[in-house]
Amino acid sequence: MVSRPTSWDSNQRGKARDVLGRLGFEVIPFKKTEEAVLAHVPVSVPLTVTASPAKGQDTTVALAVALTARGYAVTPHLSAQLVRDRAHLVDVVARCRDAGITSAFVVGGDRSEDTTDFHDALALLRSLQDLEHGFTDIGIGGHPEGHPAVSEEVLYEALKAKSEFATHITTQIVFDPKAILAWANEVKSRGIDLPIKIGVPGAVHRQKLLRVSTGLGIGQSAAFLRKQQNMFWRFFLPGGYRPDKIIHGLTPHLGESTHSISGFHVFSFNDLEPTEAWRRRFVESLGGKTAAIPREI
């Protein structure tokens, strides 16, 4: 079910159709992820593949390469904690370049026991600049509600430094549109003018999220949920969660000059079938059309 906003004018509805038509899904590189993507996600939907200590950087790249070969536009996460050294980075970049992958999302990543030459995302971004990486789109993370271990000022300074090497920002999950707008306004006031995609959960079943978040480590997404208890319990309301409220709250503000919010990014938690069904229903409720899945497996 999609809750349809009644107060939007034709311009706002057009913005929503455009944004939802370009919506990308983030997936976790589990054993059956490729199969699930092929079964439920049209090739018109951009994909991002996470990286985690439990699976490693190479697993992320392998799935990104495989999905690119299937016709998807895929962005692998490159994690400073999982890229061991320059030689490993050269290999990762070469695999992406050979596969025709033109975008990457650079994160600091979850701490692991493995040693790495890259202290944080900024170090990895700087090292990338020394290589012929071929990425025309490089994303970095944003923290609208801050970080429990880092001060607000340090976060803004880090974002400013990383923005020199990036083309867009994607935020962690935040439920409050007002908090998101306030943060985005502050980001732009500090001279950071990159397009911002707001991270939202997909249409996640509560049972599925429980299995994923308490199973093998899946990187920042599950850790973020576990650290945010109020957010976590929202997923366990009857019927699970859908991101309608965030989209309703932010769509009327798209295009305002005080911030650079350009759209949304869906953390699917691999609940791809209900998330794609939600996206299709939302677009169709606004008078738009969605592409059918073009293949059988």
Q: CATH assignment of 10-285, given 3.20.140.10, 2.40.50.140, 3.20.20.60, 3.20.20.220? A: 3.20.20.220
pLDDT in tens, the chain (297 residues): 455 555 677 777 787 788 887 889 999 999 999 999 999 999 999 999 999 888 999 999 999 999 999 999 999 999 999 999 999 999 999 999 999 999 999 999 877 667 789 989 999 999 999 898 989 999 999 999 887 778 899 999 999 999 999 999 999 888 788 889 999 999 999 999 999 999 988 887 766 655 554 443 333 444 444 554 455 545 444 455 677 888 888 888 888 999 999 999 999 989 999 999 998 888 888 876 655 554 443
User: What tokens were used for 188?
Assistant: 């732009």
| Domain ranges within the chain, ordered by starting residue | 10-285
**137-153 core/surface letters (b: 16 or more CB in 10 A; e: else):** ebbbbbbbbeeeeeeee
Q: How much is the pTM?
A: 0.85
| Distance of alpha carbon 209 from alpha carbon 65, whole angstroms | 26
DSSP per position, 53-87: TTT-HHHHHHHHHHHHHTT--EEEEEETTT--SHH
**pLDDT of 95:** 97
Q: Which residues contact 1 (CB under 8 A, 6 or more apart)?
A: 242, 281
